[in-house]
Structure 1
Amino acid sequence: MKKVLLFSLMLAFLLPIQVNAQKKKSKKDKTTQTPSKSKKSKKPTYKTYVNAKTKTDEGLFKVHHNNGKYIYEIPKSHLGKELLLVTRIKDIPAGLGGGYVNAGSKINTQVVVWEQFQKKILLKVKSYNAVANDSLPIYKSVKANNLEPIIYAFDIKTQNPDSTAVLVDVTKFFSSDIKAISALPSFFRTRYKVRRLDASRSFINSIKSYPKNIEVIQDFTYDASAPPSNRNTNTITIRVNQSMIVLPEDKMMPRLYDKRVGYFSIGNVDYSSEALKADSKRYIRRWRLEPKDMAAYNRGELVEPKKPIVYYLDPGTPEKLRKYIKQGVDDWAKVFETAGFKNAIMAKYPPTKEEDPEFSMEDVRYSSIRYVASTTRNATGPSVSDPRTGEIIESDIIWYHNHLRSYRNRYLLETGAANPSARTLDTPAEEIGEMMRMVISHEVGHALGLPHNMAASYAYPVDSLRSGKFTQKMGIAATIMDYARYNYIAQPGDKNIRFIRQLGPYDHYSINWGYRLVPNANTPEQEVKTLNKWIEDKADNPIYRFGAQRFDPSAQTEGIGNDQVKASTYGMKNLKIVAKNLSKWTSNQTNNYEDLSELYGELLGVWSRYVGHVTGNIGGVYEVNKKPTQKGFVYEPVDKAKQKEAMAWLQQNAFKTQNWLLDKSILANIDESGYTNNMLRLQNRQLYTLLNPRRLERMIDAEVLDNKTYTALNMIRDLRIGIFSEANYTRNVDVFRRSLQKSYIDGMGRLLNSKNTMHADIKSIIRGELEGLNFQLSIAKNRKVNRITKYHYKDCLAKIRNILDPK
């Protein structure tokens, strides 16, 4: 009992102490928490991001820059509006893409929208691959089955003082490796073994805002095990340009594409169609030209457009070249008159800072011709268009400084025999200027929406190109958009010849078709009847034909004239004269061999092109796009006689050793070796073109339509008989022919043992011809020929045995 009483007294004594201790502890906790509340950061305000230290650039969005952070102030009125996001390579490392990628190359174009979702701003891609009229029920299904991807989600930092805009921090977005806007596609990453973006060597170079666009320049550095240049650095550094351009709210009425007229195009799948399937539609890409006076335009008068197409010259363009570049643009003004517009296109010199302090070639309101200090020999004519309608919004044509050297060299090689002024390394300034003018005109054509039209050079008869009267009026091809740079057909003694290309009748025709407004047409479909008539009125005239370079020998790059065998024969005659005088026109003048070496290498390329034009006839198929209302077939194989003529020409001018190309006075001064391999490489290009499975398949298919055609068996047999002609006689085989004959056997072997699917007849033909060749060489090796020829035949026989019986 005493123990219980004692325990009770102790408990009564301790309990108040514990309670008081808890109270003290609670008070202590409150006092420790209070300071933490006072230290909690205040909710950011507008002044947190925009203050005295902030640099602000006014434009489409306000862009604020402060302490390395970039803030977009996005007006709420712009949320949901469609913008075009264009990713371009601004500057590239040497060798990127193997020389086929240039500074200024477009990598990606996508429509984007900024949308608010709760406390975030989402940047979403809006696709126009699938469309439907938003008044139709199916529109909901199109939206549900084409969910728009979110590129990035930004936290809303705050609003502007009057709550009309939200602020988001875009620093991380533009300094991270975001695949959706990357200028280094996955195939480059694989090819160059790119591991990661190095953030310590990557940064935002600048962000500038203009009234209709925002331009972001990013400098990105990647760790890469196999970079295209500077291999020991294990690094690729690339400068990227992100252009965000506001798209017009009043959409231009698109014009439906017709493959019978050459235009770049955009496409989508339209689910509004009443047909039994979704309707694939394509629209041409073109500038919006609207007459100031529609009534006068409809009366057939020339009318100025409300907004002409204007190109500004790069302030860095050398003064002596400016007039030629300007002429190259202005030449198109006369072409647009065919479509009813006067003063529709022009070039202007760049304004001075006093004239326009805000002028910038990055501003989307100004299209430009940029002069790039680069050793690249090229020029390009890219443009940016609205993917909803095909309307071209802006264009920046690029001219690379060294490009004129290519034209000087080809001018000498292709026209020097008949053109005395081309026989020099110091081409007259006016002639160089004329070449530059025509290159600019060609690139402007691309920027107007016109692709290459390789069929245009086939429109003119070969011998007409030897006529001064004809060439001065018509040029050397029906369009500037063909790769028909020089008149290599004109012969020594021909008078008053135009040697340089120019705008032609097809250019007037295509611009009229694409840009002339169709009266009383309010939809693209309502224009079709008129557009179709414009085509069919010209359909029987080859001058107005459009042809893409594929399998059609009448649509080949760099060719001129409507008979490749005849044209290349003229070209070879001229090239032999040039080869004979090449030292005289180069090294004898400069007292060094650098130019001789360069021009000899390019001379071999010219020879190869002339040969290739003839090769294209064998297994070639003419393609003339037509509608069912037009007469004739779309596809017609080249007739047998023309193919046999081409094969005979190739045996004489390509596969026979071309001793005139092996001039000791040239070779012994430019290289110590490599002559046989160089010649074999050029011959193999033609040989393996002929032995291409697709070509052989076309020839086999042609037999179905015409049993009198030149067959695949005919071609392989004629090829064998010509290349091994020495084996039928007691003749030694020279080193060039020995190499070529072995290449023929190797090529046949690859076809026979290929695991790729081919027409069954191809392997039968190859096996039969190799067995025939085996018999032929078994006899030839026993003839009285020199030892190396005997060894060669024995080696060929061993190769054939290994192909026919690999075991």
Structure 2
Amino acid sequence: MKKWIPVWVIAFLLMPVLVTAQDKENGDDADKYAELIKDAEFHEGFFNLYTTEDKMYLEVKEENLERDFLMNFEIAQGIGASGVFGGTMLNIFEGLLVNLEKHEGKIFLVQKPSRYTAEEGSAAERAVDLTFGSSILETAKVEATDEDGKMLINVYDWFVSDLSQVSQRVERAASNGNGPGRISFDKSRSYLSSVKSFPMNTEIEAKLSFRNQGNSAPRTVPDARYIPVSVHYSIAQLPEEPMSPRLADDRIGYFMTVHKDFTSDEESFFRRYVNKWRLECANEPDAEGLCDPKEPITYYIEPTVPVEYRQVMIDAINEFDRAFEAAGFRNGIEAKMLPEGADAEDIRYATLRWNVSDQSGYGAIGPSVVDPRTGEILDADILFEANMVQGWKNFYRTNVDPTTAVNELFEMSEDEATALRNGAEMASMADEIASQGTLLRSALIARGELAPDTPVPAEYVNQAMNRVTMHEVGHTLGLRHNFRSSADTPFDKLHDKDYTMENGLASSVMEYPGINIAPPGEDQGYFYSPSVGSYDLWVISYGYTPDDDRAAEIARQAAQPGHAYGPDEDARGSGALDPNVNTYDLSSDPMQWGMQRSDLVKNIWAELPDHVLADNVPYFEVTDAFTTLFSQYARAVAPAVKYIGGQYQYRDHKGDPDARAPFINVPKERQQAALDFLIEAAFAEDAFELPVGVYEQFGANRWNHWGVNNTYRGRIDFPLHESLVSFQSSILGQLVNPSRLSRIRDGEVKFGQQNMVTIPEMFGQITNAIWSEVWSAPGDNISSLRRDLQRAYIDGMSELVTDAPNGTPADARSVARMMLQDLHDRISRRLTPPYSFDAYTEAHLREVKVRIEKTLDAGLSLEN
């Protein structure tokens, strides 16, 4: 009879064998772990890393799994041109919320959808989890596990890759003007260049190459076939205890972290938090209402900053002390030199750094690393471009022509709007400060206070550096641009140093101000605001006061003097309707300031060679000085356009103290004054009458090598007619912009026709001014500069009649037709013999007459 052995007995007998096999497997794995890291360099920190020549092992502990952390990308080394600049973040304010997950023997790098949230433990949270999935960015198999359960994965390919999507920037840089360039990531020419790990962050840098399959690349690339870009990856710890966020308010200008919280009572579910540093009281407030911070906000000046600017930067940072005192903190902010041995890449150090580029791309920029859960600013690295400062000192040059200066005041692409909303600077900022330095230098020479071959005073350079530093520090404190703040300073206070020290030349350092230059014979005030302004105190108080109830009360002070606010979208683009919200202007009366500034420029123009040419100075300096000052002239004149059909825009809420209506009409007399100024400055017969001797000394830049543009609009000599009519056309185009024309018609209904400069009134006055030579009998000969302007007028009016842009009111088309018909009749009468026009004028008038006839006929056929 067969005997059966119980299963448990067999299992018991085999157990030592199984345990031994398991022990052996664990031992083998531990041995493999040790073998993999035997000759590797160890980087201990937030994540432990082991690097060899072609591998990078990441040590993953069980406690690391499914624990959220932050990942950011920036360009560590760019190409110094075309938007690919070293030190610029690829995801400003949009750090990736990521974690590591383990599945099927692999580790996954997972990005979570941080914008969509719900209250923890709620039914809505389950719905959010069901709806919004995570993205798997990278994977790696577990290579080995040691006795303590630590896993080793090779993440070399995670970072020597296009994980950051920097290729999108490179594609734009390699464009030939007909869409993005054709580039591909070239792994064979890419490698890891730096690995560092600190207690709170791990920093990895990779030198990447992109193969260029086209024939276009910036000149800064040594070999256009292979475009090099270094990408810096920051992996940072998130605070264990999230910061208590401060809700944003539309009356106050902060960058925001925005969630859709599906447990919110708000109709749109949006929950908006301001981006700010964590600043908490270490003790109870004293009798003055001030407490000491547990940790002050500290900025460190990196050794790359030239010695002569270090103290200027430290003083600029310390100017914010007043703002933090208004928020309730004593010594809430401080500035130091970066300690010896400290690393700017360590997230514990917010730094100010120096950078160089071939062509100025941003001048200065203040990006931040933000906790996407709460808006807490965790780190900031402010960058300054060296050639921005070079441009301040003694060069007559500008990369912003007058036409661009005009159009930039009104136009803003969607891409630029997004970038500015996220902390970028306008591309013209650095060149504009250099251009303002040229104006100052020219004005001082004209007054006899400076010799032609002398650079601008060091006082100007230091004030400019102070202004830029405060501006960028403001960004890294969470503050958005404020282009209305200049309107808080009365025109007659611009050179009152006591007033402007207390309140600012603008009430905010987040402004893009014009340079403050006194007219001849008047005392000179500060060139730029010496300290933070009244708006800065208010906005910092709102964001940083520890008391939420106090913050809510502070927000209701929007209508109080010194609290003017208008960000990028109010200054430019379709929202540009308020004449007090501009870039590069000054004072509560931008039109009066513009009149004064344009007169200053015209007076300098009249004797320009005397102001520029010293012994052995090339004549092209006169040409460059003219074009630079022309851009300043355009900046001064263009804001007047906004008065016509303009409205003063306010963000006050119902019930705020002294609350204003959301839109208030610009009085008709101010609209008319603006139109008169524009006609005088841009369309009058003598608008650009300069002595012949000035034009004769416009020289040519004959340097001929890479990096130098030695032509003007493609010509060796200066294209005078083309430059002037281009500026005039841009002013004319902005006046007849569909949004402005529609706004005028709406204003007639909202505020009464009698309170508006109507479309017929505006068109009539412009037509009269541009065609003054033939407006009444017998008529005068027309100069070549005027003929070009008149042709531009015909082009613009004909377009309104035959092919009006989308959104143009039908009434504007009808009035344009009436203007052309009236002009046609007048020209017909002037050409009725006898007349004594010169050949140019007669030919011009005959051609215009025929063009008007064809336009009117075409317009009628379109209407039928």
| TM-score with structure 2 setting the length | 0.81
Aligned partners of 2:64, 2:693: CA distance in 1, in Å? 71
Q: Choose which of 135, 144, 161 in structure 2 pairs with 1:149.
A: 135
Give the letter for the 1:362 counterpart.
E
Unmatched runs of 5 consecutive residues or more in structure 1: 1-41, 519-526
Alignment pair present for 1:776 and 2:826: yes
Equivalence for 1:18: none
Aligned partners of 1:725, 1:469: CA distance in 2, in Å? 47
CA apart distance, 1:76: 2.4
SS in 2 for 1:221: strand
Aligned partners of 1:111, 1:421: CA distance in 2, in Å? 57
Equivalence for 2:784: 735
Q: Choose which of 690, 696, 720 in structure 1 pairs with 2:767.
A: 720
Aligned partners of 1:208, 1:183: CA distance in 2, in Å? 27
Equivalence for 1:107: 90
Residue correspondence of structure 1 range 682-693 to structure 2 within 5 A: 682-693=727-738
Aligned partners of 2:619, 2:35: CA distance in 1, in Å? 67
CA apart distance, 1:399: 0.9
The 8 Å contact of residues 411 and 422 in structure 1, kept in 2 or not, is answered as: no
Change (3 A) 1:714 1:747: same
Equivalence for 1:388: 373
Aligned partners of 1:695, 1:755: CA distance in 2, in Å? 12
Equivalence for 2:202: 214
Alignment pair present for 1:292 and 2:282: yes
The 8 Å contact of residues 274 and 478 in structure 2, kept in 1 or not, is answered as: yes
Aligned partners of 1:110, 1:422: CA distance in 2, in Å? 53
Equivalence for 2:747: 702
Q: Deviations over 1:18-44 (max 9, x none)?
A: xxxxxxxxxxxxxxxxxxxxxxxx868
Q: Choose which of 424, 442, 461 in structure 1 pairs with 2:490.
A: 461
Alignment pair present for 1:174 and 2:159: yes
Aligned partners of 1:381, 1:661: CA distance in 2, in Å? 43
CA apart distance, 1:179: 6.5
- CA RMSD of the aligned region, Å? 2.7
Q: Deviations over 1:130-174 (max 9, x none)?
A: 2110221111111111111111222121224411x3222112222
Change (3 A) 1:278 1:452: closer
Aligned partners of 1:65, 1:606: CA distance in 2, in Å? 54
Alignment pair present for 1:327 and 2:372: no
The 8 Å contact of residues 96 and 228 in structure 1, kept in 2 or not, is answered as: no
The 8 Å contact of residues 727 and 777 in structure 1, kept in 2 or not, is answered as: yes
Alignment pair present for 1:495 and 2:523: yes
Aligned partners of 1:226, 1:682: CA distance in 2, in Å? 34
Equivalence for 2:218: 229
Q: Choose which of 51, 58, 61 in structure 2 pairs with 1:75.
A: 61
Give the letter for the 1:539 counterpart.
A
Alignment pair present for 1:403 and 2:388: yes
Q: Choose which of 568, 574, 580 in structure 2 pairs with 1:554.
A: 580
Residue correspondence of structure 1 range 359-398 to structure 2 within 5 A: 359-377=342-360, 378-398=363-383
Aligned partners of 1:422, 1:133: CA distance in 2, in Å? 66
Aligned partners of 2:108, 2:519: CA distance in 1, in Å? 66
Q: Choose which of 280, 283, 287 in structure 1 pairs with 2:273.
A: 283
SS in 2 for 1:393: strand
Change (3 A) 1:778 1:512: same
Aligned partners of 1:91, 1:663: CA distance in 2, in Å? 49
Aligned partners of 1:477, 1:265: CA distance in 2, in Å? 24
Unmatched runs of 5 consecutive residues or more in structure 2: 1-27, 394-433, 701-716
Equivalence for 2:255: 264
Q: Choose which of 603, 606, 611 in structure 1 pairs with 2:629.
A: 603
CA apart distance, 1:663: 5.9
Aligned partners of 2:725, 2:215: CA distance in 1, in Å? 31
Aligned partners of 1:494, 1:46: CA distance in 2, in Å? 78
Equivalence for 1:434: 463
Give the letter for the 1:787 counterpart.
A
- Single out whichever of 769-778 and 552-561 deviates more from structure 2: 769-778
Equivalence for 1:121: 107
| TM-score with structure 1 setting the length | 0.86
The 8 Å contact of residues 463 and 527 in structure 2, kept in 1 or not, is answered as: no
The 8 Å contact of residues 509 and 544 in structure 1, kept in 2 or not, is answered as: no
CA apart distance, 1:60: 1.2
The 8 Å contact of residues 171 and 183 in structure 2, kept in 1 or not, is answered as: no
Change (3 A) 1:381 1:593: farther
CA apart distance, 1:646: 0.8
The 8 Å contact of residues 539 and 545 in structure 1, kept in 2 or not, is answered as: no
Change (3 A) 1:771 1:211: farther
CA apart distance, 1:123: 1.3
Equivalence for 1:531: 551
Change (3 A) 1:738 1:47: same
Q: Choose which of 243, 249, 256 in structure 1 pairs with 2:234.
A: 243
Alignment pair present for 1:793 and 2:780: no
The 8 Å contact of residues 311 and 366 in structure 1, kept in 2 or not, is answered as: yes
Alignment pair present for 1:254 and 2:245: yes
Aligned partners of 1:338, 1:574: CA distance in 2, in Å? 39
Change (3 A) 1:146 1:731: same
Aligned identity (percent) is 27
The 8 Å contact of residues 501 and 529 in structure 2, kept in 1 or not, is answered as: no
Alignment pair present for 1:447 and 2:476: yes
Aligned partners of 1:342, 1:415: CA distance in 2, in Å? 40
Change (3 A) 1:477 1:684: same
Q: Deviations over 1:422-479 (max 9, x none)?
A: 6664233344223212211111111111111111111122122254554455442112
Aligned partners of 2:64, 2:268: CA distance in 1, in Å? 32
The 8 Å contact of residues 174 and 214 in structure 2, kept in 1 or not, is answered as: no
Give the letter for the 1:639 counterpart.
P
Aligned partners of 2:451, 2:646: CA distance in 1, in Å? 36
The 8 Å contact of residues 538 and 563 in structure 2, kept in 1 or not, is answered as: no
Give the letter for the 1:600 counterpart.
F
Equivalence for 1:199: 187
Equivalence for 2:703: none
Equivalence for 2:11: none
SS in 1 for 2:90: strand
CA apart distance, 1:723: 1.7
CA apart distance, 1:734: 1.5
Corresponding residue pairs, total: 743
Give the letter for the 1:281 counterpart.
R
CA apart distance, 1:652: 0.7
Equivalence for 1:46: 33
The 8 Å contact of residues 472 and 497 in structure 1, kept in 2 or not, is answered as: no
Aligned partners of 1:162, 1:420: CA distance in 2, in Å? 79
Change (3 A) 1:172 1:658: same
Q: Deviations over 1:186-236 (max 9, x none)?
A: 766773322422233333332322222222223232324153414983443
Change (3 A) 1:530 1:713: farther
Change (3 A) 1:174 1:748: farther
Change (3 A) 1:724 1:264: same
Change (3 A) 1:492 1:251: same
Equivalence for 2:338: 350
Structure 1 or 2, whichever has the larger Rg, is 1
Alignment pair present for 1:749 and 2:798: yes
Equivalence for 1:14: none
The 8 Å contact of residues 107 and 183 in structure 1, kept in 2 or not, is answered as: no
Equivalence for 2:296: 308
- Single out whichever of 428-437 and 443-452 deviates more from structure 2: 428-437
Change (3 A) 1:203 1:125: same
SS in 1 for 2:846: helix
Change (3 A) 1:50 1:308: same
The 8 Å contact of residues 469 and 496 in structure 1, kept in 2 or not, is answered as: no
Change (3 A) 1:288 1:794: same
Change (3 A) 1:225 1:512: same
The 8 Å contact of residues 302 and 351 in structure 2, kept in 1 or not, is answered as: yes
